[in-house]
Amino acid sequence: MKRLSHYDRAGSPRMVDVSAKPETKRTARAQAFVRMSPAVLDKLSVNPKGNPLEIARIAGIAAAKKTSELIPLCHPLMLSHADVEVALQAGGVRVVASVTTTAKTGVEMEALTAAAVGLLTIYDMCKAADRGMRIEGVRLAEKSGGKSGRYVAP
């Protein structure tokens, strides 16, 4: 098994030193799904708190920009682009977050954070009508750039 990069030789957590790495264009796309009752799904467009899909999109973009404040060993990154797509699907809502930067480290955590916060926002706005919603399948869909190159989830 490959050594985990966020631990030193003694096993203590550490921030990875990326100072010797070259800056490259890096992208990541993450996705997640919130399962909800058909009744709540049908009423999303008339939510008295506002349009949950649009608010989730903006919340996800804002979250991508704050990732290093939320995850202790994440590097702060200047993002070139962040976008969140939110779409109704059978049984719930899918969120897909895409993030780009030119940096010494990747943006996988920013994309994952954007997708998760987008869904948490939908949950927050709809919880009064359906406390049984389930957030599922938060995962990295693909990434590119850096030493490890391209990854596409199976």
CATH of the domain at 87: 3.30.70.640
**Is-contact 60 85, C-beta < 8 A?**
no
CA separation for the pair 94, 15 (Å, rounded): 32
Contacts 24+ apart (CB under 8 A), 127-130: 129/37, 129/39, 129/40, 129/43, 130/36, 130/37, 130/39, 130/40
Tell me the pLDDT tens digit for each residue of 2-14.
666 766 777 777 7
Q: Which of the residues in the chain have pLDDT under 70? A: 1-4, 6-7
Does any domain span residue 48?
Answer: yes
Residue 77: CB atoms within 10 A of its CB come to 21
Q: What is the pTM of this model?
A: 0.90
Does any domain span residue 12?
Answer: no
Q: How are strands ordered across the β-sheet holding 24-35?
A: 81-89, 92-103, 24-35, 134-144, 151-152
Does any domain span residue 11?
Answer: no
Does any domain span residue 2?
Answer: no
Tell me the pLDDT tens digit for each residue of 139-150.
999 999 988 889
- Catalytic positions, written as ranges: 124
Does any domain span residue 78?
Answer: yes
Residue keyed to tokens 């916060």 = 117
CA separation for the pair 115, 75 (Å, rounded): 19
For residue 82, give the nearest of 116, 57, 56, 55 by alpha carbon: 57
* Total tally of structural domains belonging to the chain: 1
For 122, the domain range is 38-144
CA 131, chain centre distance (Å): 22
Does any domain span residue 97?
Answer: yes
Does any domain span residue 126?
Answer: yes
Q: What is the pLDDT of residue 3?
A: 66
Residue keyed to tokens 């049908």 = 42
Does any domain span residue 16?
Answer: no
